[in-house]
């Protein structure tokens, strides 16, 4: 009789444990739903053409086919999932052009993260190509740790890691990985 009693108790405990397990799973999923907040943009715009000004002078023009604004999240940002085409103007109206397949602008830090076939070129013929590049809007400074190709009328160089001013007047490269090819 003790063997039957042990089997009976074991069966009751097993049924209780299984019931408890499935009951907790259901509650766990409900708790997950309560703690889940949807991550959706505040605004969504197609065919964007933004002009930035300073004291009545245009400093930049940004064109994108898609813009998503996440300004109400803890760390607000604006995303350009289909890329951007930007024209920067200096005080003498000289232009620097920027293109990338994707971009995200962080409002709290004023940093723009450009990704995917990033290309920057000036009217003077200087061009930089890389896969990811950051732009510090406050200091008007570009930087990356990725491989790059830098071309100008004098020649072309390849390297990894570079930072430079938006007008290409100050350039600091960390590592040149290839020969400097002369344009002659």
Task: Supply the pLDDT for residue 87.
Answer: 94
Record the tokens describing residue 177, joined without a space. 């990985």
Q: Measuring CA to CA, how many Å separate 106 from each of 52, 77, 83, 98, 128?
A: 16, 4, 15, 18, 23
**Superfamily of the domain at 43-182:** Lipopolysaccharide (LPS) transport protein A like domain (2.60.450.10)
Task: Supply the pLDDT for residue 154.
Answer: 85
Phi and psi angles of residue 94, each rounded to the nearest 5 degrees, phi first: -75, 145
To the nearest whole number, what is the mean pLDDT of the chain?
84
- Find the mean pLDDT for residues 12-16: 65
- Per residue in 65-90, pLDDT (tens digit) is 999 999 988 899 999 999 999 999 88
- Per residue in 135-168, pLDDT (tens digit) is 998 998 999 999 999 998 888 889 999 999 888 8
- The residues spanned by each domain of the chain are 1-36, 43-182
Record the tokens describing residue 74, joined without a space. 């803890």
Whole-angstrom distance, CA of residue 101 vs CA of residue 114: 8
**Which residue in 55, 51, 80, 79 sits closest to 65, CA to CA?**
80
């Amino acid at each position: 009789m003790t063997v039957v009693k042990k089997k009976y108790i074991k069966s009751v405990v097993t049924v209780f444990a299984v019931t408890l397990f499935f009951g907790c799973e259901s509650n766990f999923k409900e708790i997950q739903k309560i703690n889940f907040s949807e991550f959706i943009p505040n605004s969504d715009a197609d065919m964007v053409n933004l002009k930035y000004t300073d004291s009545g002078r245009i400093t930049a023009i940004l064109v994108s086919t898609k813009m998503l604004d996440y300004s109400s999240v803890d760390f607000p940002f604006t995303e350009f999932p289909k890329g951007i085409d930007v024209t920067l103007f200096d005080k003498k109206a000289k232009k620097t052009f920027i293109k990338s397949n994707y971009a995200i602008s962080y409002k709290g830090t004023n940093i723009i993260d450009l990704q995917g076939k990033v290309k920057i070129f000036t009217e003077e013929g200087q061009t930089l190509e890389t896969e990811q590049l950051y732009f510090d809007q406050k200091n008007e400074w570009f930087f990356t740790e990725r491989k790059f190709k830098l071309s100008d009328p004098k020649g072309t160089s390849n390297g990894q890691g570079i930072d430079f001013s938006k007008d290409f007047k100050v350039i600091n490269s960390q590592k040149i990985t290839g020969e400097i090819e002369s344009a002659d």
